[in-house]
Amino acid sequence: MSPPFSLQYIVAFFLFFTKCLTSPVAIAERAISNDDYASLNLFEQFAAAAYCRSNNNDKAGGTKITCSAGNCPLVQNDDVVSVYEFENSLTTDVTGYVAVDNTRSLTVLAFRGSRSVRNFVADANFPATQTDICPTCTAHAGFWNSWVEARAGVLAALKTAAASHPSNRVIIAGHSLGGAIADLAAAEIRKSGVTADLYTYGAPRIAGAALSDFITNQNKGGNYRVTHKNDPVPRLPPLPLGFVHISPEYYISTPNNVVPTANDITKYTGSVNLQGNSGNNPLEIDFNAHGWYFGAVGACDPNDGIEWKE
């Protein structure tokens, strides 16, 4: 579902304004290792699975994770079973699942991106709010409220999974809004002493420098913030509003509907990075790039647009 014509111009103005007022501070590393490539591809599919209704509508879990659109074959080929599924929360409609991959010895927490009116309200709730992650850590209010709504159930499910699979590698993943919530979840989960790797795709900026740098420097797991070409979402909220990214960025340069190779992905470091995704012409906005990373991330959603509260 394409955004209204006027919204495209609003986004373009914010992105152009951002680029005019800032300067790039980044170090580039061309191409990535085959191992990193394989992981970026795999965990994008776990993020894609969060859009599938069958994976987030049974609170008790016990469901094999599948994608009706066929866009998560690596996940489907493994023995992946949900431990806890969540959706349709009262305020923000935060949605996703906790699952155990018995084939790869993984415990995965995945959040869905925006698909409902309440999701879009959370996206638009820009003002920063205080968090309990660190004393000076403020975050985008809509993203923080989404994590707070999911927090109790998710942390309980992760504790249950750790009790039965103590040696599993913990992964936190999400696309779009799901990536923003994944950032905040990772911060809190790591703070509790758990080592967790963070994989986000097309995630917006979540916070000011205090929280973003806190997440970047936690040293309790890797950070993999993946962007694609002219996807406008990672350029929001604008830098002049005080929001910056976690680091590093893994930038995919291939066109839409083309599966990237390791040589098509460049790693950039720095919380204020105007290379990579933000280095593109701010007046060229491609919402379709937001839906394509290693595949069509949101293809499993049958609504293909705004979902109303049931």
Active site residues: 176, 231, 290
Q: Does an H or E element contain 198, and which?
A: strand 196-201
Distance CA 289, CA 256 (A): 6
The residue type at 272: V
Question: Which long-range contacts link 121-129 to residues 24+ away (Cβ below 8 Å)?
Answer: 121/92, 122/92, 122/93, 122/94, 122/146, 122/177, 123/177, 123/204, 126/237, 126/241, 128/207, 128/208, 128/242
In angstroms, the Cα distances linking 125 to 224, 228, 247 are: 25, 24, 23
Q: Which residues pair with 221 in a beta bridge?
A: none
Count of all residues that appear for the chain in the document: 310
Q: Which residue has the tokens 């970026």?
A: 40
Distance CA 178, CA 273 (A): 22
Side-chain half-sphere CA neighbours of 18 within 13 A: 29
Distance CA 89, CA 221 (A): 29
Q: Is 32 helix (H, G, I), strand (E, B) or coil?
A: coil
Q: Which two tokens stand for residue 78?
A: 């493994």
